[in-house]
Structure 1
Amino acid sequence: MPRARYKHLVDQFAADIRSGDLPAGSQLPTHRQLAAQKGIALVTASRVYKELEEMGLVSGETGRGTFVLSASHGIDQPTLHEGMIDLNFNSPSLPNQTELLRSGLRQLALSGDLEALLHYQPHAGRKHERAIVAGHLTSRGLNTDADNVLLVSGAQHGLAVAAMALLNPGDVVAVDALIYPGFKVLADLHKLELVPIPMREAGPDLDALEQLCQSRHVRAVYAMPTLHNPMGWVMSLAQREKLVAIARRHSLTIIEDAAYAFHADTPPPPLATLAPECTIYVSGLSKSIATGLRVGFIVAPIPLIAKLERIIRATTWNTPAVMTALACRWIDDGTVAKLEAQKRQDAMTRQSLARTILSGLHFTGHPAAYFLWLNLPEETRADQVVMALMKANISVSTAEPFATTDNPPHAIRLALGSVSLETLERSLKTVRQVIADHSY
């Protein structure tokens, strides 16, 4: 039996299980029945089921048969047990950050403004704090002022506020074929229809976006032009101008996710600078400073501010006042800029290490990002690689959480920022060995 056909059979079972066409608890044909149905050798049928079991999708029970496991048994975002090495989620922290937090909290405690932090804040944030954020964003090339800025509880909350305020259930949103998983979850909860844009080597296929807008009533486009997660792209100025032209031509709202933008050194202007009248810019400090610092920002056209404020009021009322005050103090005194520069350098060190260890494999990423996209060799199945790494106490993600297409590529995303350099080096060598063991 040709190898391509054998792998196709594995992939078809996997797709049917993930889609629910083969629900949890379903009994699959016996090995002999599968061999007869598909016209394959019995040993090949056994191998198909063995691979599905290694992928965590089925369970073989002696004397009873092979059964589909629950969809929640997936391995893309596992709960980490003690001793598990996390190459799935990034939570980078520099050695001096704990002391910075202690010092920052002491200074805040001595502030004459402390009592004000015990009370409700304006929904969009206090005016002087919005002005501080506006100055911070202006330094990144986004020309804005306090009236256009709203403070939110992290970038994920900012995306939710934007979607809830400006989109209705059933609306069509154009997205890249691979995107930040948090937006997929948000779209599912808000009943948005995500339509994928094919990808090119350095960004989305904007000609395909134009064709999509001509055939469907697209309401918005979700984009990460400056350091795309998971691909690491930084769109060129020409690409950005083309995207803006399409948005204006078809009256699209652009949702610009800039969570990782700080990693890129002197990128082209944000979409919100090129098209401020139709762009909602969302960012925060979780990636650049600390994941526990849940302070984010939205920049929006003045006519949309009231709608966005209404959703902030409905979801959180206002950002936590103490955290917002601390974040703005750190922006104002240069701590944020200093930490961002240090994290860019740290990410570059980790990227260089990863690229050296994984040399010869097909990977995509930005040289200053905390993650790397690794396309697996032909015929190598991501689920098997991920399961094998879990057995080695290493957690990574397949492409499935990021994919907006029906058939995710066989690739893994490696988060490089949550472990020590020594642990990262050792883990990446294991990743390479496991891939070699599962390549045919």
Structure 2
Amino acid sequence: MPIARYKQLVDRYAAEIRDGRLAPGTRLPTHRQLAASEGLALVTASRVYAELEAMGLVSGETGRGTFVREAALPRGLGIDQQAPAAGVVDLNFNYPALPGQADLLRSALRQLAASGDLEALLRYQPHGGRPHERALISEHLLTRGLNVTSEQVLIVDGAQHGLATTVMALLRPGDVVAVDALTYPGFKVLAEQQRLELLPLPASGQGPDLDVLESACGRRRVKAVYVMPTLHNPLGWVMSASRRRRLASLVRRHGLLLIEDAAYAFLVTDPPEPLAALAPESTVYVSGLSKSVATGLRVGFVAAPSELIPRIERAIRATTWNTPGVMTSIATGWLADGTVARLEAEKRRDAEMRQALAAQILHGLRTRCHPSSYFIWLPLPEDVRADRTAKVLMQAGIAVSTAEPFATGSHVPHALRLALGSVPPDHLTRALERVRQEVEAPML
């Protein structure tokens, strides 16, 4: 059976891209030009490019055309957490740590070994955590402006696990979830795994465009909204109190589930009250200690309306049964003795120092950030392609993320997301200087 004409074109383009005859960044003919030159129907020409895009070889950019992608970048860059290769400066992922944290762990382990509670930690724990540990987290959430009972708190294996159990428990395949057009990649992975439909909301100032959300709710059966109101990743905004009130009103009016991700909220001093305090009957609040204490700690927490707790608890049972008793005991002990509060304050100061350093080095470039966050959003000039820039930086031993892992719609801006919290300040300085050099090079 002869190979379909469109398939022959797909194979030809794929071969030319893979062997370098079509270089990364090459603009391909428009759909109409391809159809005319090859004697195809327009729909067939569009199918050619759709298959090439599915193969990861090209990217379609609204208003600009179809371009050959940079295939040399590692697959999953910006989504899959991997230990950086030796000598690579990691501006891709954040795992902020402070001097002396290892000594804190040694001390905590010694104290735990001497405690009378050690044998209990060897047994299965309640699915949502032991009551006294849930009470400590409830007290901790009061410092975040959230007043919930210990029965409304569940302990999970980090914030990502909290998001996963929330999605598994409360959403179903095909449900429509409104998200920012640029959002946390971990939620995108969850949505794909659970076969959710993501509805992108464009940015409007310091938050998502709520007019678009309201219009969408009038046209579609939107089930939930996923937001990061206090220190958005990657854009660094803190949603205003008035915008939060309007979002809470929309959630109530349309009967939506609101998932509030507060993983980076500890970095913001005196933020507006959480959405979970404004719409407590509709909001699941998710956070953890990975960023504020250590990524390897893997202790997080979910606060939810009482009627949703049993369903989320079942999802915890189905995934991990319960959190590791030893790690949870250490984490809640640090909450009780003030260690977590001290580390959070020190990391705010550390993030502020790194942002000031970055502002000095990147002065004059368009950036979006918060003065105490661990990341920067760097939109690129019109003639600079993100995939090419990321490749050149990778060859120079610097790992950065493009916008692609964060994009939930068809439009993927040419931008870089720079994580500031994973390398020593002197390494960060040199890496940011090289980033600036590469961004400005095509303009020279």
- Smaller-chain TM-score range? 0.7 to 0.9
Which of 338, 346, 349 aligns to 2:350? It is: 346
Q: 2:258 aligned with 1:254, yes or no?
A: yes
Residue identity matched to 1:423: H
1:174-205 Cα deviation digits (max 9, x unpaired): 00000000000000000000010111121111
Residue identity matched to 2:184: Y
Which of 386, 397, 402 aligns to 1:398? It is: 402
For 2:79 and 2:282, the matched residues in 1 are separated by 34
Which of 283, 287, 290 aligns to 2:291? It is: 287
Distance 1:69 1:422, change over 3 A: closer
Q: 2:281 aligned with 1:277, yes or no?
A: yes
What aligned pairs does 1:27-106 form with structure 2 within 5 A after superposition?
Answer: 27-28=15-16, 57=57, 73=75, 75-76=77-78, 79=82, 80-106=84-110
For 1:71 and 1:428, the matched residues in 2 are separated by 19
Contact 1:75 1:387 in 2 (8 A): no
Distance 1:432 1:297, change over 3 A: same
Contact 1:385 1:438 in 2 (8 A): no
Contact 1:220 1:253 in 2 (8 A): yes
Q: 2:387 aligned with 1:383, yes or no?
A: yes
Q: 2:419 aligned with 1:431, yes or no?
A: no
**Structure 2 equivalent of residue 128 of structure 1:** 132
Distance 1:22 1:143, change over 3 A: farther
Q: CA deviation at 1:439?
A: 3.6
For 2:397 and 2:277, the matched residues in 1 are separated by 44
Q: 2:188 aligned with 1:168, yes or no?
A: no
**Structure 2 equivalent of residue 233 of structure 1:** 237
Question: Which ranges in structure 2 are unaligned for 5 or more consecutive residues?
Answer: 1-8, 23-27, 38-51, 59-67
Q: Secondary structure at 1:362's aligned position in 2?
A: coil
What aligned pairs does 1:179-198 form with structure 2 within 5 A after superposition?
Answer: 179-198=183-202
Distance 1:383 1:205, change over 3 A: same
**Structure 1 equivalent of residue 154 of structure 2:** 150
Contact 1:155 1:296 in 2 (8 A): yes
For 1:239 and 1:274, the matched residues in 2 are separated by 11
**Structure 2 equivalent of residue 108 of structure 1:** 112
**Structure 1 equivalent of residue 121 of structure 2:** 117
Distance 1:327 1:85, change over 3 A: same
**Structure 1 equivalent of residue 40 of structure 2:** none
**Structure 1 equivalent of residue 310 of structure 2:** 306
What aligned pairs does 1:302-381 form with structure 2 within 5 A after superposition?
Answer: 302-381=306-385
Distance 1:286 1:199, change over 3 A: same
Contact 1:23 1:68 in 2 (8 A): no
**Structure 2 equivalent of residue 245 of structure 1:** 249
Contact 2:229 2:260 in 1 (8 A): yes
For 2:426 and 2:304, the matched residues in 1 are separated by 43
Could you tell me the percent identity over the aligned residues? 59
Q: Secondary structure at 2:195's aligned position in 1?
A: coil
Distance 1:68 1:266, change over 3 A: closer
1:365-402 Cα deviation digits (max 9, x unpaired): 11000000001111211011100100100000000000
Q: Secondary structure at 1:438's aligned position in 2?
A: helix
Contact 2:299 2:323 in 1 (8 A): yes
Q: CA deviation at 1:71?
A: 9.9
**Structure 1 equivalent of residue 181 of structure 2:** 177
Q: Secondary structure at 1:199's aligned position in 2?
A: coil
**Structure 2 equivalent of residue 26 of structure 1:** 14
Contact 1:256 1:281 in 2 (8 A): yes
1:101-154 Cα deviation digits (max 9, x unpaired): 111111111111111000000001000000000000111111111010000000
Residue identity matched to 1:187: A
Q: CA deviation at 1:92?
A: 0.8
For 2:165 and 2:86, the matched residues in 1 are separated by 35
Q: Secondary structure at 1:203's aligned position in 2?
A: coil
Question: Which ranges in structure 1 are unaligned for 5 or more consecutive residues?
Answer: 1-20, 41-51, 59-65
Q: How many residues align?
A: 397
For 1:404 and 1:381, the matched residues in 2 are separated by 19
Distance 1:162 1:23, change over 3 A: farther
**Structure 1 equivalent of residue 65 of structure 2:** none
Q: Secondary structure at 1:363's aligned position in 2?
A: coil
For 2:195 and 2:234, the matched residues in 1 are separated by 23
Contact 1:24 1:68 in 2 (8 A): no
Contact 1:77 1:88 in 2 (8 A): no
Q: Secondary structure at 2:15's aligned position in 1?
A: coil
1:10-60 Cα deviation digits (max 9, x unpaired): xxxxxxxxxxx96898234977xx7896799xxxxxxxxxxx9xxx958xx
**Structure 2 equivalent of residue 14 of structure 1:** none
1:309-335 Cα deviation digits (max 9, x unpaired): 110000000000000000000000000
Distance 1:153 1:23, change over 3 A: farther
1:265-306 Cα deviation digits (max 9, x unpaired): 010110111111000000000011000010000000111111
For 1:125 and 1:76, the matched residues in 2 are separated by 32
Contact 2:70 2:387 in 1 (8 A): no
TM-score (norm 2): 0.85
**Structure 1 equivalent of residue 62 of structure 2:** none
In angstroms, what is the RMSD of aligned CA positions? 2.5
